[in-house]
Amino acid sequence: MDALKNRKVRVWFGGSYREQWSENYILSIIYEGRRWVDAVMKDGLWSPEGGDEELVNRLLSPECPELMQQYFQAAATVYDAVRECLNMGLKRERLSECLHTEMPLAAPELMRLLMDDCGFPLVEAYRVTAACCGDLYASGVLPQELYQYQPRTSHVVSILRQTAGSVTAALHDSRREEFRSPFGAPECGSTLRLGFRRLGGSVRDAHLELWGDSMEHSYSMERDGDYYYVNLTMPNEPQALWYAFYIESDHSAHWICPDGTGCLGKVCAQREAGFRLTVYKKDFDTPAWFRKKVMYQIFPDRFAFSNDGTAERGVEYHKSLGQTPELHASLDEPVRWQPRSWESSYSPDDFYGGTLRGIEQKLPYLKELGVGVLYLNPIVEARSNHRYDTSDYSRPDPILGTVEDFEHLCAEAGKQGIRIILDGVYSHTGADSRYFDRYGNYGGTGACQGAGSEFYSWYDFRSFPDDYRCWWGFRDLPEVNEFNPKWQDDIITGDDSIVKLWLRRGAAGWRLDVADELPDSVLALIRGAAKSVKPDAPIIGEVWEDAVVKESYGGRRNYALGCSLDSVMNYPLREAVISFMHGWSDAYALRDFLIAQQMNYPKPLYYSLMNLMGSHDVDRLRTALAAGRVLRQMSREDQLKVEFTPESLERALLLERLCAVIQFTIPGVPSIYYGDEQGMCGVCDPFNRLPFKEGDRELHDFYASLAARRNSAAALSTGHARFMAGSADVLLILRWISDGRDVFGETAENGAYLAVINRGNDERSYRADCSAAGLGICEGSIAALSSEIIRLK
């Protein structure tokens, strides 16, 4: 990469300067009579090339004064770093991303540049300088000797030395092991070392403050040179914690709290938000098979059609109950989304006739795509097409097929190396069900028929029979009392419970609908029940936010701390990636997000995250990338008014490939929503649930190639991971295994891969630090709107 190796900057020498104060007391520096030379990087050093001939000759001469050469090298290094910072789309406050140097004259030259050319206040310029330069005192430099080369910098040497002696500056980067070790979330009872490095100012005393929802402790820190550290034993109780550093100097007190990245420390006058620290249950683990698979989500009514009369017979069954289902005559008919003439509100009971046998017939397609686990939206009997309003937990909806059809599907899928995860909807049932039976369609034995019903205790009636607790106010979805012993026995803990029954029939695990609306103790019961039947059954929770700090039921949830869930649906990832693709955020923000998840989730759960880009609850990925706005916040009517040009849809296809590369190269389980691999479009529910159709074969093949690569390279599933940004447009993902074992200590093939993703409209250069994988610096270029997965070894 010539552009990286032959950088050129301009360095200024000599002349004079004068200070000019504005009426509002802002200082400006006016330079006069300066001379310049261009500096070009050659073989790791700056070389003069062009500009003032006398200066060039002196710098090239063997007799060039050492101080002059030092200033030239330091100034060129600083100017180049600031320019690179701006070219990369970073704010100058984050210059430390680009500059780390021990050159004696780099600190005063950088501080001069930040104050004079960039308008930084003195203290702010000093703290940025302290984060970038190891020698704040310009050791061995006499200001009067430097004056002839750069008079203003010679003056700044004195300013810098005085400031460094009195103003506190410190560094803590929770991503680096010198400040936080070991990396990531610690187990209960383990030891964690936390610390910071003094960059300037005095430190008379230092404490680590650690706090959570029900605890707060202060720990005195030990000193080792400029480093202050403390070794902590983690609590025995899993919990989300925060920490910050309290520093007392001779003249004041300060805090080190995280900046906007959540990882880098900033000096604050008072305690602000803390650095996050997740402490998870000792010996918590997740199914090893699951974190190595590619997932495929299926909305059963819309994916595969056996055309054998099953769906028709099922529709007639529902009609016999007094329900009003409709079976579309063709897959090309538009989905119904408005109330019918006799309805006051839209009822999602139009069906296209997907079946379990149809899914079985598509197993070769799924195998060829590289899928190893299917997640099926609810399959049990229900009134609606989405089936989140359960009528009977014990059997499949007749429109889909029979128990035998399901068992045969699981058996045939197993032969293809594919396992099946079911959707458990346990916070509520349907009102039109054998359990509640609001309309009497199920024989009059439900809770609505009175206290004599075996299911009466499942529900909470405020005033029988019409006033009862229901899910988010929807009267067709009565909520259950999850603490009721009868409900727990029927659904979870009994020998013939629903959780256990479907696992015995062949299911491999559960995805739990609205998991954050189920109490932690109930989730733990579900985990225990499932693992008693299949110890390697994954339990996935529907959680839309950061699962570690999620609050509901009046407190912080523990389901992501090793107490119940093995995985959660990673909606925050989808939001972060789409934001990056649209240019609403940059690669640095996405990198910081990825690092935050890596640090804050327990490692077993992190490597099992359901990394989705689409689902039945959000607009299709291609549509989201073409829209340029957040559609989920709009009404159905307004969503349908959004126009998509051919150009926007074509660009969305290119961006979808970039999303997929991220999805398949980060730790976790990549999940494809049915049809996304074919370029299907659709705004939100129900338009994101159209019948599966084959479309863009090239996109399908791209997904298949990603899955094949991931399935054949352990480094891409359970290898180490490092996230970097090559510029505002370029994300870099490094994955590797170098010692014959993956991050869980399992025997695995060595390998190293670098994924490069450029969302920009132009070719971009990148420079990736791959030293963690034992490979040093990797440089290259990447075409516009493209990605590449490079095998490094």
Rounded distance between C-alpha atoms, residue 277 and residue 321, angstroms: 53
Using DSSP, state whether 34 is helix, strand or coil: coil
In the block, tokens 């009497």 appear at: 440
437 is catalytic: no
Q: Which residues make beta-bridge pairs with 329?
A: none
Which helix (H) or strand (E) is 211 found in, with range? strand 205-212
Rounded distance between C-alpha atoms, residue 58 and residue 207, angstroms: 52
326 is catalytic: no
Using DSSP, state whether 251 is helix, strand or coil: coil
CB neighbour burial string for 343-360, b if at least 16 within 10 angstroms, e if fewer: eeeebbbbbbbbbbbbbb
Q: Which among 80, 423, 542, 676 is annotated as catalytic?
A: 542
The distance from CA 26 to its chain's CA centroid, rounded to whole angstroms, is 42
Output the CA torsion 257→258→263→267 (10° steps).
Answer: -60
Using DSSP, state whether 640 is helix, strand or coil: helix
In the block, tokens 């899955």 appear at: 707
Tell me, what amino acid is at 252?
S
Query: Which DSSP state fits 328?
Result: -
Task: Give long-range contacts, CB 8 A cutoff, 24+ apart: 552-556.
Answer: 552/516, 552/517, 553/519, 553/520, 555/213, 556/213, 556/239, 556/240
Answer for the pair 425, 480: CB distance below 8 angstroms, yes or no.
Answer: no
The DSSP string of 89-126 is T--GGGGGGT--B--TTHHHHHHHIIIIIT---HHHHH
Helices 587-600 and 571-582 pack at an angle, to 10 degrees, of 170
Which helix (H) or strand (E) is 193 found in, with range? strand 191-200
Q: Which among 80, 116, 513, 656 is annotated as catalytic?
A: 513
Which helix (H) or strand (E) is 419 found in, with range? strand 419-424
Closest CA to 744 of 581, 632, 611, 608: 608
Catalytic residues: 513, 542
